[in-house]
Every structure is written in structure tokens, then in C-alpha cells.
């Protein structure tokens, strides 16, 4: 019977006395209630915590239903159980006859046929009665929530002895191999030469020196495994090999201190433009990140990325980073088909309109500017005998002046602007004003000053 039912059956007088008693207990003028275990109950505990559910209600005021069940003390498995499950153990010798209810495959009665881990036989032990396996030990393990999820539960520390033994053998073999190698090569440094000579003289080293050698061995042992950025230690030659940018390299922003030379992004440490534009690219060590970006396989990679985007827009389920092999094969097929279509289109145009003879290559003597005409030159370059080679002329018209000009555009330069020399006008295709325009420009400049 729950306490709620008892409270509902109380009379008004009893209910008033119960309320006064609860108020007195909260005020500290009345002693606290005692549960069935003899413990005091805090009067400020809410009523919904004091009321026990109907399936654990004993009719007495108690907080026992709020406490976790007590765990069994002591080990669950003893020495007879090997402190854990009897893994791989059998009950006894195998049976000689097949027993009813046993596994039809191996004949063991400790498991069913569907749970058998033996190799499936062509004819099971039920029909042959041969090679019947022994029964396994079925052990009940009452594990709580934490024990079931403990990754080290059931671990035998003796298994680690095999790891230590194997490590000691490998370490001993490594030391003996290194000792034989040092004997063949001889000492490599002054300190090792002294130790080597002392060892040959006395036959053994002191404890301090021996410990020092072990420390050096440990350093060498972990040197190859060290993942240091920018360097790699070669254990045999005791040298450091740098394979990344060293700190002694000049920073990009120090190549040209002019603030207008090129923009440097300190966050990404990138300088896309060339900071030394006045020098040719073959004479500078750094020509900008864009110069490096557009060399090698980077342009080809950009083409593949563009092809992936275009294919995705057309509905193809391709992605360069998710499946690079697929997109590479698709791009290769696309280029092959594109070349085939281009070749067929060109062939069709030539068949329809003609002109295939113009696409044939010229003779080698014409390509290399060679001919049968004999020309003899002097040391100064003057033609002595034969016809002089004609100078190559531009395909554009030369010495053609427009709009009454007497000079071409770009013949005058001032204040970072190009213009005409005849009238000093900076407006292209303007009408020439001649000397009058020059005087007007000078007078306006004097007025501005």
C-alpha cells in the first residue's frame, strides 16, 4: 500500500497533525523521521522522492528504492576459473558415439549446429560417427555494465612477456650488428676513436662510458623514426639532410622592399606577382607564386578541375577530390573524342573547299632560311659578292601619319604618359595642333604653378 493511498485515507485532523509535524521537522523543533534501516530522513526531501513505486513499496518510509543495488564484493572468478573464462578448455575426452541433441557437424553437445565453428564436413558426425569433438566448458559470466564494456577485461598480463622477450632479442641483434659494423668501419669521430682505442687496450669500458654508448645507441635508434619538419637524420653518416625550405632563405617580402612592387599576404605567406619585374625570369630566384602555379602539371590539373565542374553542371555524378581516377579517365576519353571530332571537321572542310596543299610543310632549306644564292660578306658585315638578303618587313604599314601628325603615337613620354612628339598631345587619335599646341600647354602649366 503506497504512502499516497494512506495520505488520502487520513482524516482532516490526522492530515493537519501530519502537516504540523512536517513543518516542525523542517524548522528543527521535532526529530527527523527514521527509515527501516535506522537512518534519518532529511525533512526537506521532496514527496515524490519519498514515495516508492508500487512494485517496490514496502509500506514504510524509506529511501532504499533511490539507492543503487549493492555490488557483489570479491572476485567473480577464482584460480579454478583461471581468473577469467575457461577459453579453449574442454570438459574431458571426446565421446565415442553420437549423442542425441548434439551438433550434427562435429558431435559436441555443448552447442548447436548453427553455432558450430568447425569446418563444415561433407558428412557430419551425426551420420559418420567419426571424429567427434570434445565438449567445451560453458561458463556463466555475470558481468555488470562497466565490465561488459571494459576493453581490458579478461586480459592476461603474462601475454606481454612474449612481447618483451621478442623486443629483447631484436635489441640484442641490433647491438651486435652495429658493433660488427663499427669494427669494420673503424671510429668516425674523435670521441669514438678514444673509446675504441681504450676498449681495444683494456678490453672493456667503464660503467659511465658504457652508459654513454647506450644513450648514443638510443639516439641513433630513434633518429630514423623522428619526424622533424625540414630535416632527416641519416644514422650511418650522422648527417642532417634538409628537404624543405630552410630558415636561412630570404623571405619573399624582402626581395624587393618597394611597397608597390608586389602584394604580399602574410596570412598565407604568398606573393602571387613577381616582385622583380625589371629583371628577366631566368635571373631571379623567385618569380611569384603564379609563375610556379602555371608550370608543370598545375595547368593540366586546372583543366581537369574545369572539366569536372562542367560535367557536374550537365548532371554527371563526378568529383575530382572524391574519385580522381574516374575524372582522369573521363577527361582522357573526352580529349580523345574532341581531337577525333576536330580532325573529322577539318577533313570535311578541306574536302568541301580544298586548300590541303597550303597545309603541307615547307622545305627544310626554306624553313632554315637557306638557299642556293651565294653571298660573301666582309668583316664589317658589308656585302662583297652576291645579292644581299632582303630585310624582313613588318606586316603593318610604316611611316603612316594620321590627323596631320608628323610623328607616331608613343614618340613622346612625360609624367608616366605616352603621346605625340609633334604636338605633345597625350590623347590618342587627336588632331595635331603643332607648335601652337605645345605653347598652349606650356602656358597652362605656368598658370597652374
Q: What is the mean pLDDT of residues 155-174?
A: 90
Q: What is the mean pLDDT of residues 248-252?
A: 78
Place of cell 562542367: 310
- Strongest mean pLDDT among 1-5, 72-76, 396-400: 396-400
How does DSSP classify residue 377?
A: E
The distance from CA 344 to its chain's CA centroid, rounded to whole angstroms, is 45
pLDDT tens string 151-162: 887 777 888 899
Residue 428 has pLDDT above 70, yes or no: yes
DSSP alpha helix (H) spans, 354-388:
364-367
pLDDT level of residue 354 (50, 70, 90 thresholds): confident
Residue 340 dihedral angles phi and psi, to the nearest 5° = -65, -45
Q: What is the pLDDT of residue 402?
A: 85
More confident residue, 396 or 14: 14
What is the Cα–Cα distance from 295 to 300, expressed in whole angstroms? 9
Residue 239 dihedral angles phi and psi, to the nearest 5° = -125, 160
Q: What is the pLDDT of residue 393?
A: 72
Q: Taking a C-beta distance cutoff of 8 angstroms, is the pair 423, 438 a contact? A: yes
In order of 25, 26, 42, 49, 50, the CA distances from 46 in angstroms are 14, 12, 9, 6, 7
Q: Which range among 120-124, 228-232, 439-443 shows the weakest confidence by mean pLDDT?
A: 228-232
Residue 68 dihedral angles phi and psi, to the nearest 5° = -70, 150
Pairing of strands 383-385, 376-377: antiparallel
What is the Cα–Cα distance from 98 to 315, expressed in whole angstroms? 65
What average pLDDT is seen over the chain? 79
pLDDT tens string 7-43: 457 788 998 998 999 999 888 889 988 887 788 888 8
What is the Cα–Cα distance from 430 to 355, expressed in whole angstroms? 43
Q: What is the pLDDT of residue 233?
A: 52
Q: What share of the chain is helix, strand, coil (3-state, %, to 5)?
A: 40, 5, 55
pLDDT level of residue 2 (50, 70, 90 thresholds): very low
Q: What is the mean pLDDT of residues 103-107?
A: 94
The proportion of the chain whose per-residue pLDDT surpasses 70, expressed as a percent, equals 76
Q: What is the mean pLDDT of residues 415-434?
A: 88
In order of 187, 207, 214, 217, the CA distances from 210 in angstroms are 16, 5, 6, 11
Q: What is the mean pLDDT of residues 190-210?
A: 55
Q: What is the mean pLDDT of residues 121-127?
A: 93
Q: Taking a C-beta distance cutoff of 8 angstroms, is the pair 364, 371 a contact? A: no
Amino acid at each position: 500500500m503506497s504512502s499516497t493511498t494512506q495520505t488520502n485515507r487520513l482524516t482532516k485532523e490526522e492530515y493537519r497533525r501530519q502537516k504540523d509535524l512536517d513543518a516542525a521537522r523542517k524548522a528543527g523543533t521535532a526529530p527527523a523521521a527514521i527509515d527501516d534501516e535506522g537512518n534519518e530522513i532529511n525533512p526537506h526531501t521532496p514527496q515524490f522522492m519519498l514515495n516508492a513505486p508500487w512494485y517496490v513499496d514496502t509500506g514504510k518510509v524509506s529511501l532504499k528504492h533511490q539507492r543503487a543495488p549493492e555490488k557483489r564484493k570479491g572476485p567473480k572468478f577464482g584460480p579454478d576459473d583461471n581468473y577469467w573464462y575457461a577459453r579453449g578448455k574442454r570438459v574431458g575426452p571426446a565421446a565415442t558415439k553420437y549423442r542425441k541433441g548434439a551438433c550434427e557437424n562435429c558431435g559436441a553437445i555443448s552447442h548447436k549446429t548453427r553455432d558450430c565453428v568447425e569446418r563444415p564436413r561433407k558428412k557430419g558426425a551425426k551420420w559418420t560417427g567419426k571424429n567427434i569433438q570434445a565438449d567445451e566448458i560453458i561458463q556463466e559470466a555475470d558481468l555488470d555494465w562497466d565490465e561488459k564494456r571494459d576493453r581490458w577485461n579478461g586480459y592476461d598480463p603474462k601475454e606481454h612477456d612474449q612481447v618483451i622477450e621478442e623486443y629483447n632479442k631484436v635489441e640484442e641483434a641490433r647491438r651486435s650488428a652495429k658493433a660488427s659494423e663499427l669494427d669494420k668501419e673503424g671510429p668516425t669521430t674523435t670521441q669514438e676513436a678514444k673509446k675504441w682505442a681504450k676498449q681495444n687496450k683494456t678490453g672493456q669500458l667503464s660503467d659511465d662510458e658504457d652508459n654513454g654508448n647506450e644513450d648514443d645507441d638510443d639516439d641513433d635508434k630513434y633518429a630514423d623514426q623522428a619526424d622533424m619538419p625540414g630535416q632527416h637524420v641519416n644514422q650511418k653518416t650522422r648527417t642532417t639532410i634538409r628537404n624543405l625550405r630552410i630558415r636561412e632563405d630570404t623571405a619573399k617580402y624582402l626581395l624587393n622592399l618597394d611597397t608597390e612592387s608586389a602584394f604580399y599576404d602574410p596570412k598565407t605567406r604568398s606573393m602571387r606577382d613577381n616582385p622583380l619585374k625589371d629583371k628577366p625570369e631566368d635571373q631571379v630566384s623567385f618569380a611569384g607564386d603564379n609563375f610556379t602555379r602555371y608550370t608543370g602539371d598545375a595547368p593540366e590539373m586546372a583543366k581537369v578541375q574545369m572539366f569536372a565542374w562542367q560535367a557536374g553542371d550537365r548532371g554527371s555524378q563526378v568529383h575530382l577530390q572524391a574519385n580522381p581516377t574516374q575524372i582522369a579517365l573521363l577527361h582522357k576519353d573526352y580529349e580523345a573524342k574532341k581531337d577525333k571530332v576536330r580532325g573529322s571537321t577539318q577533313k570535311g572542310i578541306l574536302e568541301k573547299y580544298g586548300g590541303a596543299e597550303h597545309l603541307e610543310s615547307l622545305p627544310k632549306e626554306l624553313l632554315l632560311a637557306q638557299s642556293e644564292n651565294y653571298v660573301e660578306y666582309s668583316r664589317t658585315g658589308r656585302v662583297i659578292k652576291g645579292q644581299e638578303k632582303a630585310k624582313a618587313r613588318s606586316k603593318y604599314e610604316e611611316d603612316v601619319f594620321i590627323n596631320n601628325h608628323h610623328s607616331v603615337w608613343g614618340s613622346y613620354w612625360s609624367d608616366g604618359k605616352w603621346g605625340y612628339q609633334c604636338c605633345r598631345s597625350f590623347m590618342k587619335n587627336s588632331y595635331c595642333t603643332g607648335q601652337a599646341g605645345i605653347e598652349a600647354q606650356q602656358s597652362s602649366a605656368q598658370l597652374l604653378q
